[in-house]
Structure 1
Amino acid sequence: MTMTTALEPGRPPQQLRDDLWLFPPNRDCQGGSAWWLEATPEPVLIDCPLLTEATLKALRDLAGSRTPRILLTSREGHGRLRRLQERFGWPVLVQEQEAYLLPNVAPLHTFADEHITSSGLRLLWTAGPTPGSCVVHAPHADLLFCGRLLTPLGPGRLGPLRHGRTFHWPRQLESLRRVRGWIPSDAFPQLASGAGLGALRGERLVPFSGWSEAVQSS
């Protein structure tokens, strides 16, 4: 399907490592962050970036002849996903609680509690920020994409943040405890949040030791 509405030029994603790119803040998602991760045989786009000409070009270049998968960590990361998916036709994976929000997206796949992709990425349902929130652990890249479960609180610190859009606060805290036990005991992945990263003051990834249990409210 051809898009008829002109897109703004926008800015390309920032390459942070050989295998990782971060897209500019998405104002359609409260300034949220979308990530591209190289993985074999299937690279992934985690959450929806701001829809611009620069985004489309970058995604075409990064994908090449491959068919990536789009992973959604919560409804707050959907943005203008339908328009993006119409352009590329890439399959989308979302936790089943939030599949109803994407009625015109195909192919659309869902999971219930846990899922492992063909590239070995592990997904875990972490309800709380939204009903179908999830996190994505990439063992090969030593990264944990934590969606809105963990939000930047300051330089080098991520933690739970309670605000007006929070779906269920006690479940969010329980999900945090669950993730702690789900990550292998010998793994200390860097943390990549799906929220806005302004509080990190220029940092992008947070060390595992920067995971704060302190509860914050806004």
Structure 2
Amino acid sequence: MQAPPPEPGRPPQLVLPGLWLFAPSRDTQGGSSWLLEAAHSGLAGDLLVDCPGYSQANLDWLRARPLGGTVVMTSREGHGRCRRLQEAIGWDVLVQEQEAYLLPGVSGLRRFGAESRLAPGVALLWTPGPTPGAAVLHVAGPTLNVLFCGRLLLPVGPGALAPLRTARTFHWPRQLRSLARLRRWLPEGSPHWIACGGGLGALRGQKLVAGGAALLAGLDLEEGLNVPAGPLGARREG
């Protein structure tokens, strides 16, 4: 049976110089996908973080990118229609090895383990918890210092992100341990911005969360180990 044509959709919007946000995708439960232009990462091509909706607007826009690029998956929740997108634009796909089996038949599929350094200042870290192969991407480029956190953190209010335990969470204690490891792994003072891969509605119109380093430092992960569900709040004073 012939696949239906893509819906019209709308192209991504520029959030910061070199950083684009795609419209929420029904293929990823309303998740968010991002594109970082090559000039702002030091790489030879763009970085597309998670799969945007398979729309004609997105396909046309991505095909027009002059340098091509790589699709980086932060978890199985962001796979969407990865195979169809890859066939349409021809970019490589980079996925944590625990979830590579979920992408059979995808050409140009590359895997990474605990960590992967794509270039100076561009690195991936395996952060299991939300899913078995969840990962984050940190880019400390010439002009931007941003952490693409996937769904390790989710919006809980304007300017606020926190780990959330949901019915889809793979392993809650591992998620909190991954956050603790992330804090040790990031360079001091990083990130300046956090770009979330989940739905952004709770941010009330905001796209990025500023002050990422302070936000991560303020999470009380020890207390969270005893929280059965819901968001982790900031560390209490006193």
TM-score, with structure 1 as normaliser:
0.93
Q: In 2, are the aligned partners of 1:41 and 1:119 still within 8 Å (CA)? A: no
Deviates more, 1:201-210 or 1:141-150: 201-210
Q: In 2, are the aligned partners of 1:156 and 1:210 still within 8 Å (CA)? A: no
- Is it true that 1:213 corresponds to 2:226 in the alignment? no
For residues 1-218 of structure 1, the aligned pairs below 5 Å read 4-39=3-38, 40-61=43-64, 63-64=65-66, 66-118=67-119, 120-140=121-141, 141-207=144-210, 208=212, 209-211=214-216, 213=219, 215=224, 217=230
Residue 119 of structure 1: how far off its partner (Å):
6.7
Secondary structure, counterpart of 2:15 in structure 1: strand
Q: Residue by residue, what CA displacement relative to the aligned partner does 1:105-155 show, whole Å, maximum 9, x if unpaired?
A: 011100110001147420000000000000000011200000000000100
Root-mean-square deviation (CA, aligned residues, Å) is 1.6
* Distance in 2, Cα, partners of 1:185 & 1:70: 27
Q: In 2, are the aligned partners of 1:41 and 1:118 still within 8 Å (CA)? A: no
Residue 23 of structure 1: how far off its partner (Å):
0.2
Residue 22 of structure 1: how far off its partner (Å):
0.2
* Distance in 1, Cα, partners of 2:191 & 2:58: 31
Structure possessing the higher radius of gyration over alpha carbons: 2
Instruction: Return closer, same or farther for 1:46/1:188 CA change in 2, 3 Å cut-off.
Output: closer
Q: Residue by residue, what CA displacement relative to the aligned partner does 1:150-204 show, whole Å, maximum 9, x if unpaired?
A: 0001000001000000000000000000101111113332000000000000001
Share of identical aligned residues, percent? 53
* Distance in 2, Cα, partners of 1:188 & 1:85: 29
* Distance in 2, Cα, partners of 1:35 & 1:9: 19
Deviates more, 1:157-166 or 1:181-190: 181-190
Residue 5 of structure 1: how far off its partner (Å):
1.9
